[in-house]
């Protein structure tokens, strides 16, 4: 192989795809659409492990937000949704909270969208090599970004009312049109809707005693 070919291949090998290795997720979230109502049940916190301690998962990283990092607090939203949905005969009873994990499931190999990505080329690289490098580089970026939706917002809730378990887990993909905070609020709203539906379907207390 000629010296020229070697130098051109070396220049092509020097092309770097520079990008952030993780999705940008917030440590605090101000909810836009969710607001607690006036009627709420009393929540008894029976969680045994703080959410920040449960961060390592198989094949992904879990990042849950602390209770006070979400405003309005998910605890208050849950209490009010249950208070509004529970049949009248249940409303004087406390709800025992076993899990309230709200945050993100992140792929450790995820790259951001192409809008946050640049190509770095040597100033001595010839025009032909630059064209090939750009095609290869953006082809790689496009391939990697197909896995971007592997990053998800999650809301996982487990609550007991007497002997009745209400549980829901919802995820929403994080993408260019669905940023992390918005995806998290959507996942939480969906989980709360599911729990409210389960609460409305609980058998009436006087029916259970027959």
What is the full per-residue pLDDT of the chain (210 aa) written as tens digits? Answer: 565 555 554 444 444 444 444 568 899 999 999 999 989 999 999 998 655 545 555 567 889 999 999 999 999 999 999 999 999 889 788 999 999 999 999 987 653 444 444 444 445 555 555 444 444 444 544 444 444 558 999 999 999 999 999 999 999 999 887 899 999 999 999 999 999 999 999 987 544 444
* Domain definitions of the chain by residue range: 1-23+111-146, 31-110+148-208
pLDDT for the residue numbered 177: 77
pLDDT for the residue numbered 176: 81
pTM exceeds 0.85: no
Do 152 and 25 form a contact (C-beta atoms < 8 A)?
A: no
């Amino acid at each position: 192989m000629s010296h020229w070919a070697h130098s051109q291949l070396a220049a092509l090998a020097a092309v770097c795809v520079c990008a952030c290795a993780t999705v940008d997720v917030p440590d605090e979230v101000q909810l836009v659409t969710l607001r607690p109502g006036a009627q709420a049940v009393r929540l008894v916190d029976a969680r045994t492990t703080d959410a920040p301690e449960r961060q390592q998962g198989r094949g992904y990283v879990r990042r849950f937000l602390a209770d006070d990092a979400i405003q309005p607090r998910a605890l208050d939203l849950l209490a009010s949704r249950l208070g509004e949905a529970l049949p009248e005969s249940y409303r004087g009873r406390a709800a025992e909270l076993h899990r309230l994990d709200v945050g993100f499931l992140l792929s450790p190999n995820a790259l951001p969208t192409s809008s946050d990505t640049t190509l770095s080329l040597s100033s001595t690289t010839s025009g032909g090599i630059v064209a090939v490098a750009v095609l290869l580089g953006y082809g790689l970026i496009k391939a990697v970004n197909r896995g971007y939706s592997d990053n998800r917002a999650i809301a996982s809730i487990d609550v007991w009312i007497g002997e009745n378990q209400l549980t829901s887990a919802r995820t929403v993909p994080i993408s260019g049109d669905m940023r992390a905070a918005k995806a998290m609020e959507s996942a939480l709203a969906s989980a709360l809707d599911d729990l409210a539906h389960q609460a409305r379907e609980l058998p009436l207390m006087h029916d259970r005693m027959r």
